[in-house]
């Protein structure tokens, strides 16, 4: 045992030391037992990992004790912890489970007692059917959720549609973080809005309706290594509902957001950029991917400074009109795709409209025209468009410039077969230097 800066004695779990009192803690939680790393343990506050008992009060007591001490770590051991209420993390408090990286399933596929439990599993049951209720977990300034699996035991994969729940996690204040977490089957995953410099890293799972929602962020946020895949359920009514309604990543107003190495599979829209009351997106998106989404990426609004997308991979082949990229007639900003790959078999690679600028540079286009043979890979109805240095690997129509296109440059592209560009624009258009080839 040794003294700490707080003036108490650090105690090992399971040892009771009467002198281990942390200053400024309410009497009912004044005795704090810490492990060798200085962490509180929820088991000492009455937590029960039996997959049945409500643990809301016990967890909140442990979190509040750490908060009253000025911050710290609350440790959660292996087990299934149920909750019939919501948790609020005080400033500078971390809740840490047993996982050092986001798990897969954590031994959970249903609520059967016969299923093994590996690691820390948090099981919310509150607010079923009330999407607008308080989130299960709210992180405040410098608060962190790490090393847990969140599983909704009353969400059933064979139901005709999912049960609506509020967000599993809401991030508020400055520098909140979600790290090494699995969101196995929430209706809504993470509300990452109304904060500054939030960090989401190493998060996996299958949010059914919305994976991550970002809005009202005015200082750089970061999303890294997030992977949405149908591990919880696939080829079920719930999965089909997700394909028809779900959004993997939803962005409103954010300034200089950095999104790196993210992926989603089986959504109505993989990545969607919208305009909210706060505004629109500008940011840097590197190494992102969307597979088997009816629309891989949709832009309804972007900032003038631009949405910059590099090394993306996009696949669409299901739904009534599977299309990789849609830029709607409401967009006024800039969107650039650099060194991205698009394949299907889809209907169209990109449908572009609006008053903004959309650019494709050094991209690869494959497998369009599988629903309608006469479709162009890139179909622009409005705005300004750049298609430069790309490779079209099908002997099919490549680019259409509609009457509403204001400006366009289509240059130095590689075409398989003959050049098939339709120019209906009355604006300024440059088509030059493209290299066609014989079909091989």
Q: Does the pLDDT of residue 36 top 80, yes or no?
A: no
State mean pLDDT over 156-179: 96
- The pLDDT assigned to 26 comes to 40
Domain ranges for the chain: 22-237
Token pair, residue 289, equals: 């991917």
Helix (H, G, I), strand (E, B) or coil at 27: helix
Cα dist from 406 to 117, 308, 342, 429, whole Å: 59, 22, 25, 8
**Rounded percentage of the chain residues whose pLDDT exceeds 70:** 88
CA-CA distance, 307 to 317, in Å (whole number)? 25
Q: Is 65 helix (H, G, I), strand (E, B) or coil?
A: helix
Pick the closest to residue 150 from 192, 198, 188 (CA basis).
188
Please compute the mean of the pLDDT values over residues 256-274 and round it to a whole number.
Answer: 97
Given pLDDT bands bounded at 50, 70 and 90, which one contains residue 163?
Answer: very high
Predicted pLDDT at 29: 38
- What pLDDT is stored for residue 2 in this prediction? 38
> What is the pTM (predicted TM-score) of this model?
0.90
Dihedrals phi, psi of 142, to nearest 5 degrees: 65, 15
pLDDT band at 54 (very low <50, low <70, confident <90, very high): very high
pLDDT for residue 145 is more than 80: yes
- Partnered with residue 3 across adjacent β-strands are 9
Q: Tell me: the pLDDT tens digits for 307-349?
A: 999 999 999 999 999 999 999 999 999 999 999 999 989 999 9
User: Is 17 a residue whose pLDDT tops 60?
Assistant: no
Higher pLDDT, 191 or 4: 191
pLDDT at 35: 66
What's residue 439's pLDDT?
61
pLDDT bin (cut points 50, 70, 90) of residue 23 is very low
Residues sharing a CB contact under 8 Å with residue 424, sequence separation 6 or more, in sequence order: 400, 401, 402, 403, 405
CA distance 411 to 432: 5
Rounded to the nearest 10°, the torsion over CA 226, 326, 195, 77 is -20
The answer to whether the CB of 327 falls within 8 A of the CB of 354 is yes
Chain centre distance of CA 186: 12
Structure tokens at 193: 């809005």
More confident residue, 200 or 439: 200
- Residue 118's pLDDT is 78
Q: Where does 22-237 sit in CATH, by number?
A: 2.160.20
* Whether residue 228 has pLDDT greater than 60: yes
Share of the chain above pLDDT 90, in %: 82
Confidence (pLDDT) at 374: 82
Q: What pLDDT does 49 receive?
A: 95
Token pair 């001490």 in the structure block, residue = 69
406-419 mean pLDDT: 97
CB atoms within 10 A of CB 52: 12
Residue with tokens 């003036």: 7
């Amino acid at each position: 045992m040794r003294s700490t800066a707080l003036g108490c004695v650090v105690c090992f779990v399971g040892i009771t030391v009467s002198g281990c009192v942390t200053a400024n803690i309410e009497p009912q939680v004044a005795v704090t037992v810490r492990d060798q790393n200085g962490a509180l343990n929820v088991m000492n506050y009455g937590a029960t990992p039996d997959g049945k008992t409500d643990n809301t009060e016990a967890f909140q007591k442990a979190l509040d004790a750490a908060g009253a001490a000025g911050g710290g770590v609350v440790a959660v051991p292996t087990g299934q912890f149920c909750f019939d209420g919501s948790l609020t993390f005080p400033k500078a408090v971390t809740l840490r489970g047993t996982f050092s990286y986001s798990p897969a399933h954590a031994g959970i596929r249903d609520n059967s007692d016969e299923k093994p439990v590996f690691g820390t599993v948090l099981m919310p049951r509150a607010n079923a059917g009330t999407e607008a209720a308080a989130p299960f977990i709210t992180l405040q300034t410098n608060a962190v959720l790490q090393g847990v699996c969140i599983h909704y035991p009353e969400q059933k994969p064979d139901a005709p549609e999912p049960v609506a729940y509020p967000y599993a996690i809401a991030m508020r204040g400055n520098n909140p973080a979600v790290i090494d977490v699995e969101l196995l089957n929430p209706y809504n995953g993470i509300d990452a809005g109304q904060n500054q410099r939030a960090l989401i890293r190493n998060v996996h799972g299958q949010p059914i309706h919305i994976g991550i929602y970002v809005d009202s962020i005015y200082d750089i946020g970061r999303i890294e290594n997030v992977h949405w895949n149908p591990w919880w359920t696939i080829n079920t009514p719930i999965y089909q509902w997700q394909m028809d309604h779900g959004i993997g990543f939803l962005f409103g107003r954010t300034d200089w957001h950095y999104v790196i190495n993210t992926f989603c599979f089986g959504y109505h829209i993989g990545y969607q950029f919208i305009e909210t009351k706060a505004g629109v997106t500008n940011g840097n998106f590197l190494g992102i991917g969307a597979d088997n989404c009816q629309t891989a990426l949709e832009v309804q609004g972007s900032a003038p400074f631009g949405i910059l997308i590099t090394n993306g991979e996009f696949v669409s082949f299901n739904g009534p009109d599977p299309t990789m990229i849609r830029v709607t007639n409401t967009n006024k900003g800039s969107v650039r795709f650099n060194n991205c790959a698009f394949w299907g078999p889809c209907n169209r690679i990109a449908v572009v409209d609006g008053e903004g600028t959309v650019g494709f540079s050094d991209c690869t286009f494959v497998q369009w025209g599988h629903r309608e043979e006469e479709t162009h890979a890139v179909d622009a109805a409005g705005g300004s468009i750049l298609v430069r240095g790309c490779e079209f690997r099908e002997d099919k129509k490549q680019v259409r410039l509609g009457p509403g296109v204001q400006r366009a440059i289509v240059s130095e592209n590689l075409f398989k077969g003959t050049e098939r560009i339709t120019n209906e624009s009355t604006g300024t258009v440059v088509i030059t230097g493209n290299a066609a080839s014989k079909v091989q």
